[in-house]
């Protein structure tokens, strides 16, 4: 039978300290039979007798005394280490490793992290931004944010909100070039496209047609692998662009951008929060997860309703026509 070394050594040390195998069993919340078996397994494993036993008492052998002197400090150190780990787990302090994509982290997660740090100043965030979906274990992350669902097993995924892909133009562009009235009409307009930095592939626009999301390929008049530059290009009036709702929502609500062809807005992707087993998480991780879920789940800061989109498009087209 395999020996449980930690239980056997603990039973031996407790028996030596308390002078009784029964008391040692009680201290460990195990049966006397289990304690006796653990001690017998240890003696068999070591090949020495650790106690002189009588019906009324137990006394250490010379080998038992030597083993106690060596094992007792080590066991005490291990118990202290375990207690320290438990205390650290329950403190809202210490390092908090977070991973997420460059483009989405600052506008979405940064405000939540700033609020969290004000409430819990003893937490030390360690934020790694990367648009790839890395290996959760290798990255040693406590919490992650990603578009879509993680491919790694053992990770809990919590959907926060839908990501909309919205075709937008500035009022200046619409005044100068007019507005497309269909997807086919986009071919007559200057369009801005995003180029994937890792492959160099131009990303097609994602549009909804008849309830399905399909790729709509464009001939770009402007390409970039930087989403901030793509936004600035659309805001400048140089071209139309398809922007994520997270990027466009504040500009649409302020009137600096006009959503177009809103019946084709795609909403096939979502923004997710990832974490490992909740039972094993430090309190600091659970506290941040709870705050992120509370602040970000279906937040209107990042999503426009169908009614709001349609109204913004109507107002934008009317404004352009009356100039």
Centroid of chain to Cα 150: 10
> Do 281 and 223 reside in the same domain of the chain?
no
Q: What is the mean pLDDT of residues 190-208?
A: 89
Give φ, ψ of 271 to 5 degrees.
-100, 125
> Is pLDDT above 50 for 139?
yes
- Domain end among 34, 61, 89: 89
Top pLDDT among 163 and 4 is at 163
Judged by average pLDDT, the poorest of 65-74, 116-125, 167-176 is: 65-74
pLDDT tens digit sequence for 7-45: 888 888 888 888 888 888 888 888 888 888 888 888 888
pLDDT tens digit sequence for 40-77: 888 888 888 988 877 677 888 888 888 888 888 888 88
- Domain end among 89, 119, 137: 89
Structure tokens at 28: 């460990």
- Domain CATH number, residue 65: 1.10.10.10
* DSSP 3-state of 91: coil
> Is pLDDT above 80 for 138?
no
Top pLDDT among 277 and 157 is at 157
**230 and 224 in contact (C-beta within 8 Å)?**
yes
Top pLDDT among 238 and 316 is at 238
Helix axes 5-18, 62-89, angle to 10 degrees: 110
Which of 146-155, 220-229, 280-289 has the largest mean confidence?
220-229
> Do 135 and 179 reside in the same domain of the chain?
no
> Do 259 and 200 reside in the same domain of the chain?
yes
Q: What is the pLDDT, as a whole number, of residue 34?
A: 87
| Cβ burial, residue 215 (10 Å; 0-12/13-18/19+) | exposed
Q: What is the pLDDT, as a whole number, of residue 288?
A: 94
> Do 187 and 259 reside in the same domain of the chain?
yes
- Domain CATH number, residue 171: 3.40.190.10
How does residue 136 score in pLDDT terms, banded at 50, 70 and 90?
A: low
Q: What's the pTM?
A: 0.67
Q: What is the pLDDT, as a whole number, of residue 84?
A: 64
Structure tokens at 42: 């240890």
- Domain end among 89, 121, 153: 89
> Do 180 and 230 reside in the same domain of the chain?
yes
Which of 131-145, 151-165, 187-201, 234-248 has the largest mean confidence?
234-248
Total of domains in the chain: 3
> Do 180 and 201 reside in the same domain of the chain?
yes
How does residue 323 score in pLDDT terms, banded at 50, 70 and 90?
A: very low
Q: What is the pLDDT, as a whole number, of residue 51?
A: 87
> Do 156 and 280 reside in the same domain of the chain?
yes
> Which residue, 105, 99, 169, 177, is CA-closest to 141?
99
Q: What is the pLDDT, as a whole number, of residue 151?
A: 57
Distance CA(95)–CA(141), nearest Å, equals 10
Cβ contacts of residue 236 below 8 Å, gap of 6+?
Answer: 170, 172
Q: What is the mean pLDDT of residues 148-168?
A: 82
Q: What is the mean pLDDT of residues 298-316?
A: 91
Q: What is the pLDDT, as a whole number, of residue 72?
A: 85
> Do 239 and 168 reside in the same domain of the chain?
yes
> Is pLDDT above 70 for 87?
no
How does residue 157 score in pLDDT terms, banded at 50, 70 and 90?
A: confident
pLDDT tens digit sequence for 205-244: 999 998 899 999 999 999 998 888 999 999 999 999 999 9
Distance CA(260)–CA(99), nearest Å, equals 33
> Do 220 and 135 reside in the same domain of the chain?
no
> Do 187 and 227 reside in the same domain of the chain?
yes
> Do 207 and 102 reside in the same domain of the chain?
no
Q: What is the pLDDT, as a whole number, of residue 206?
A: 94
Q: What is the mean pLDDT of residues 170-180?
A: 92
Structural domain containing residue 156: 94-161+270-296
User: What is the chain's mean pLDDT, rounded?
Assistant: 86
Judged by average pLDDT, the poorest of 9-13, 92-96, 237-241, 280-284 is: 280-284
Residue-wise over 13-22: b if at least 16 C-beta within 10 A, else e?
bbbbeeebbe
> Do 172 and 264 reside in the same domain of the chain?
yes
């Amino acid at each position: 039978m395999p020996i449980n070394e930690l239980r056997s050594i603990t039973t031996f040390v407790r028996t030596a300290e308390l002078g009784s195998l029964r008391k040692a069993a009680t201290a460990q919340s195990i049966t006397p039979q289990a304690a006796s078996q653990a001690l017998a397994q240890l003696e068999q494993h070591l090949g020495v007798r650790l106690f002189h036993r009588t019906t009324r008492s137990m006394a250490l052998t010379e080998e038992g005394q030597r083993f106690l002197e060596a094992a007792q400090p080590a066991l005490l150190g291990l118990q202290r280490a375990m207690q320290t780990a438990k205390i650290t787990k329950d403190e809202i302090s210490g390092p908090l490793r977070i991973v997420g994509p460059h483009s989405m982290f600052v506008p979405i997660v940064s405000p939540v992290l700033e609020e969290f740090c004000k409430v819990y100043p003893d937490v030390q965030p360690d934020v790694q931004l990367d648009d790839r979906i890395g290996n959760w274990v290798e990255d040693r992350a406590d919490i992650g944010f990603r578009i879509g669902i993680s491919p790694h097993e053992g990770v809990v995924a919590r959907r926060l909100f839908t990501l909309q892909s919205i075709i937008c133009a500035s009022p200046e562009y619409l005044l100068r070039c007019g507005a497309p009235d269909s997807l086919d009409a986009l071919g007559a307009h200057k369009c801005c496209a995003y180029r994937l930095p890792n492959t160099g592939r131009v990303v097609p626009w994602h549009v909804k047609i008849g309830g399905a999301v399909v790729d709509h390929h464009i001939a770009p008049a402007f390409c970039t692998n930087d989403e901030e530059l793509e936004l600035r290009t659309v805001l400048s009036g140089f071209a139309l662009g398809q922007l994520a709702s997270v990027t466009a929502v504040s500009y649409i609500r302020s009137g600096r951008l006009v959503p177009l062809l809103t019946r084709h807005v795609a909403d096939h992707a979502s923004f997710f929060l990832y974490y490992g087993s909740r039972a094993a998480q430090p309190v600091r991780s659970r506290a941040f997860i709870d705050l992120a879920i509370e602040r970000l789940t279906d937040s209107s800061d990042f999503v426009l309703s169908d009614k709001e989109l349609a109204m913004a498009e109507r107002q934008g087209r009317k404004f352009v026509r009356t100039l």
